[in-house]
Amino acid sequence: MRTLIACTAALLVLFAWTSPPAAVEELGLITGGEKGTYYQFGLDLQKLVRPSGINLNVIASKGSIENVYAVYQRPGVPMGIVQSDVLAFVSRVQTDPVLKQIARKTKMVFPLYNEEIHLLGKKGITDFDDLTGRRVAVGRDGSGTYLTARLLFKLSEVAPSEMVPIDTGEALAELKAGRIDAMFYVAGYPVKLFKEDVTDKDGLELIPIMNKSVLEFYPQAEIPAGTYPWQPTAINTAAVKAVLVSFDFRRRDCDNVGRFAQILSRGLDTLQKTGHAKWKVVDLNYPLRGWEQYDCVRKYLGKAVPATTSPGQRSSQNPVFDAIKGALDQ
């Protein structure tokens, strides 16, 4: 009997050693530049969901426009972070069936935080309206910064001498060298690039955005004094909302995104204590007009699924949709 028990115990140990490990779910999240807030949020989420058996692959990108397309068509990337006005652009400025499909089937997982419009320039430029006749970096083609900067100029009728389409890292180098006068960067403060790569010696400062036409369509925001070591005073600006999105997937992808959202919701306190500073202002229940929450997410959160709204109904609730239609379709 003792021999039988010993053999049984040995077999159990051997079985435990040789059993296949628990399945790990692979998910992709497309974010933004590696020094931007999107990417840092992605790393925080990667850490949060790993103990639950989800390997979150955080992917850097050029920004929001690329992210919308990636979630639609790139295998293994069911989620992305985008600016709220980017989907408005896709919904309104569309000339082909693919864009219509993207606009109709892109769904919100959660609203995240306000992204402040950082306008960094040479000292002596006192306001956004002073950009008339100047060379301004507006972000790389395909980025949310590019779309927002172009829209700001359209809305305000401020006319720079040149809008330079380069990414933020290159733009900062060009600004320091004096080859451009200012640069845009749409990201939630504090922006890592400006904390690490700008000093008082560079002779640069944040420029307020107080244009009335701009603030009719974007909410007013403030970058508090001391957000950056070289920034002594608070700066008034405008903001857009960052949104975690998915596509209207079914079956396994639906459940994977729903489970991910459930873990995020339950772990928000942890993220606010240990993650990027912007997690502290995230309200996962914020009623973001113009967006419909993914029904797979609502199911895992135990929420009722609302009646589906048409793109026309959705756009009429959000003034940014109308702003983009009037400004960019001319």
pLDDT digits (tens, 9 = 90+) for 23-38: 568 999 999 888 888 9
CA dihedral 305, 68, 58, 283 (to 10 degrees): -40
CA distance 87 to 167: 21
**75 and 126, same structural domain?**
no
> Do 106 and 33 reside in the same domain of the chain?
yes
Residues 95 and 159 in one domain: no
User: Is residue 214, in this structure, part of any structural domain at all?
Assistant: yes
2 in a structural domain: no
> pLDDT (tens digit, 9 = 90+) per residue, 2-16?
554 454 444 444 443
Domain that holds residue 80: 25-114+242-323
| Cis peptide leading into residue 287 (ω within 30°) | no
Domain boundary among 222, 240, 258: 240
d(CA 118, CA 208): 9
Is 105 found in the same domain as 153? no
Place of tokens 């309104």: 92
| Cβ neighbours of 67 (radius 10 Å) | 29
Q: For residues 67 and 143, state if they share a domain.
A: no
pTM of this prediction exceeds 0.75? no
Closest CA to 119 of 194, 239, 209, 33: 209
pLDDT in tens, 221-269: 999 999 999 999 999 999 998 999 999 887 788 999 999 999 999 999 9
Same domain, 141 and 234: yes
16 belongs to a structural domain? no
Q: Is 283 within the bounds of a domain?
A: yes
In a domain, 36, yes or no: yes
Give domain status of residue 120, yes or no. yes
Q: Do 110 and 250 share a structural domain?
A: yes
> CA dist 219 to 94, 134, 270, Å?
25, 25, 28
Q: Residue 193 belongs to what H/E stretch? A: helix 192-197
Same domain for 293 and 213, yes or no, is: no
CA separation for the pair 85, 182 (Å, rounded):
22
37 closest CA partner among 174, 195, 152, 182 = 195
pLDDT tens track for 91-134: 665 566 777 778 788 999 999 999 999 999 999 999 999 999 99
Instruction: Mark whether 210 and 300 lie in a shared domain.
Output: no
Q: How many domains does the chain have?
A: 2
Q: What is the mean pLDDT of the chain?
A: 84
- Residue 307 included in any domain: yes
Residues sharing a CB contact under 8 Å with residue 80, sequence separation 6 or more, in sequence order? 29, 30, 31, 61, 67, 68, 70, 71, 244, 245, 246
Residue carrying structure tokens 């049984």: 8
Is 99 in the same domain as 140? no
The three-class DSSP label of residue 131 is helix
State which of 215, 240, 265 marks the end of a domain. 240
